[in-house]
Structure 1
Amino acid sequence: MALWALVSAVGLAVDDRVLVGAPIWAKPFKFFVSFAAYGLTLAWMLAQTTWGRRTGWWAGNVVVLTSLVEMVIITGQVIRGKRSHFNAETPFDASLYTVMGLTIVVLWAATLVIAALLLRTRLADRATAWAIRGGVLIALVGAGLGFLMAQPTAEQRAAGNLDTADVIGAHSVGVPDGGPAMALTGWSTTGGDLRIPHFVGMHALQLIPLFLIALVLLAPRIARLGDARVRLRLIRVATAGYAGLVALTTWQALRGQPLVHPDAPTLMAAGVLLPAVAAGVWAALRTAPEPESVRTKTEPASDSKEFTA
């Protein structure tokens, strides 16, 4: 995936074709980078399992195979100058999109198996266990949100004739795909965009464990973070706050509202979530450091009879 991301980057530089309002190689580049991070993180998580390792090996290989099939189709459609997602223009395009849908379902199921193995694995450090489990469970939810994009939009249903439509499903809510968008991400600036909660949710897989790694690295400089209880509470707060962010961005997108133009209800919800997370962080940091363990030394007995059987 990392190698193909470099190839896609070259495509961005030398191929000036545009598809649905974006450079044609932008989608494969983002998908290759995302799959590289996804695979690397799952590999690290599988290395932590102590139960069902053979099952985890098979599940990991299913993730590899299905992600490769997905990217071969996406890249092939780019070479043809066609959309990969939502494309029902010809029977061949529709068949490719159906295969993509099936591979993503299988990939999601394989990740669910890995999540089940991680839930059963006992890790010595509770903060690490919480970060891994929280990250993979939120990522599963985020991946599942992608299925919402495959459904016909309200406008497509209203138009009817879905059997003969060229496009079925969309990233955007309330506006057509390919309209004004944010730089780099391509997320809509005029309507809702389901790619936002999908992206935010899936990358919990990396961001929550990375947050724990940052806490561990800062522990020698910040005494509070040297306390395992403080790190555990901070990870719990971060996980809950991250889940709240996924819920908030999903709610915002489904209401057809762009990320950069939140309305009053969205701002009110954010105004509840942020102080709640801040309060949780403050409470976690107030935890008193654990006292250092005192090793008791037993003096040798003066009477040898005490050791006589």
Structure 2
Amino acid sequence: MGLLALVSAVGILVDDRVLVGVPIWTKPFKFSVSFIAYGLSLAWMLSLLPRGRRAGWWAGTVITVASVVEMALITLQVIRGTQSHFNQATPFDGAVFQIMGATVAVLWLGALVIAVLLLRARILDRAMAWAVRLSSLIALAGAAVGFLMVRPTPEQLAAENPPISGAHSVGVPDGGPSMPLTGWATTGGDLRIAHFFGMHALQLLPLLLIVLAALAARSARFPALARLADERIRLRLTLTASAAYAATFVLLTWQALRGQALLAPDGATLAGAAAIALLTGAATALSLRTAGAPAPALTRKASA
């Protein structure tokens, strides 16, 4: 994926072809970078398993093979100068998209196996255990948003044998006005936003806990951070952050399904965002309340 990201970056610079409103090599570049983050995160999570490593290895291998097949087909269609996703223009294009759909389903099932293994695993640090478990479940939900994209739009249902069946955008055609870099629609809903946000819980929630643990280790020098040395407080903060992340993911999905652009929220969306912010702030304040003396092992670690 790293090599493909480099090739795609060069392609963006030297290939002037445009597909669905963006440089044609943009999709393999974004997908390969996303798979790098996804693969590294899953590999690290698998290393935390005290048991079930063989099942985890097989699940990881299945995900790797499915990812490679997916990216090979995306790149093939780029080379051919045609759309990979939702393309039914020819029998060959339809077959390519069907294989891509099958690989995504296999990839999702492999990730589900890893999520189940993580749910059953006894990881010593409870806060880290729940960060890993909940982030993997949210990432599964984020990946599942992709299945909503294959539904034909009303315009496609009205047409006879449409060349494209399915869309990223809701309420507007794909390839219209979009945000720079991401390519997300600016005049209608875009399911890729929730898809992206949900899947990257796999990196962001564990990263939050790593930051909290790093701050806790400095509590001897900075007394204001002493509360973070208590594993119970870190667990509370992890659960709060996970709940806020999941709620935001649901809000983004709901916003997109209503055909609403990310930067043009209506009153209902703003009310939902405000409720999430207020509840998260209150839960964070409650989480930081002293839970008792820090665990001895954490105190020794912080002092060291």
Please state which band the TM-score falls in when normalised by the shorter chain. over 0.9
Relative to structure 1, the CA distance from residue 107 to residue 291 in structure 2 (aligned partners, 3 Å threshold; closer, same or farther) is: closer
**Does structure 1 conserve the Cα–Cα contact (< 8 Å) formed by 2:231 and 2:295?**
no
Residue 169 (structure 1) aligns with: 166
Offset of 1:113 from its aligned partner?
Answer: 0.5
User: Which runs of structure 2 are paired with 1:236-251 in the superposition (5 Å)?
Assistant: 236-251=239-254
Query: C-alpha offsets along residues 102-154 of structure 1, whole Å, 9 cap, x if unaligned?
Result: 00000000110111111110011100000000000000000001000011112
Residue 27 (structure 1) aligns with: 27
Larger Rg: 1
Relative to structure 1, the CA distance from residue 80 to residue 125 in structure 2 (aligned partners, 3 Å threshold; closer, same or farther) is: same
**Does structure 2 conserve the Cα–Cα contact (< 8 Å) formed by 1:89 and 1:166?**
yes
**Does structure 2 conserve the Cα–Cα contact (< 8 Å) formed by 1:180 and 1:188?**
yes
Query: C-alpha offsets along residues 48-88 of structure 1, whole Å, 9 cap, x if unaligned?
Result: 11222111111100000000000000011111111000101
Residue 121 (structure 1) aligns with: 121
- Identical-pair percentage: 61
Unaligned stretches of 5+ in structure 1?
A: 295-309
Residue 226 (structure 2) aligns with: 223
Offset of 1:17 from its aligned partner?
Answer: 1.0
**Does structure 1 conserve the Cα–Cα contact (< 8 Å) formed by 2:230 and 2:295?**
no
Partner Cα distance (1:94, 1:293) in 2: 61
Residue 300 (structure 2) aligns with: none
Equivalent AA in structure 2 for residue 182 of structure 1: M
Equivalent AA in structure 2 for residue 145 of structure 1: V
Unaligned stretches of 5+ in structure 2?
A: 298-304
Which contiguous aligned blocks of 4+ residues in structure 1 show a shift greater than 2 angstroms? 291-294
Residue 2 (structure 1) aligns with: 2
Partner Cα distance (1:83, 1:251) in 2: 27
2:277 to 259, 274, 280: 274
**Does structure 1 conserve the Cα–Cα contact (< 8 Å) formed by 2:188 and 2:261?**
yes
State the superposition RMSD in angstroms. Answer: 1.2
Tell me the number of residue pairs that the alignment of Structure 1 and Structure 2 aligns.
291
**Does structure 2 conserve the Cα–Cα contact (< 8 Å) formed by 1:51 and 1:120?**
no
Equivalent AA in structure 2 for residue 6 of structure 1: L
Give the secondary structure class of the aligned counterpart of 2:172.
Answer: coil
* TM-score, structure 2 normalization: 0.94
Partner Cα distance (1:293, 1:270) in 2: 39
Q: Determine if the alignment matches structure 1 residue 11 to structure 2 residue 14.
A: no
Query: C-alpha offsets along residues 165-202 of structure 1, whole Å, 9 cap, x if unaligned?
Result: 10000000000000000011100000000001100000
Give the secondary structure class of the aligned counterpart of 1:223.
Answer: helix
Give the secondary structure class of the aligned counterpart of 2:180.
Answer: coil
1:207 to 191, 204, 209: 204
Q: Determine if the alignment matches structure 1 residue 192 to structure 2 residue 189.
A: yes
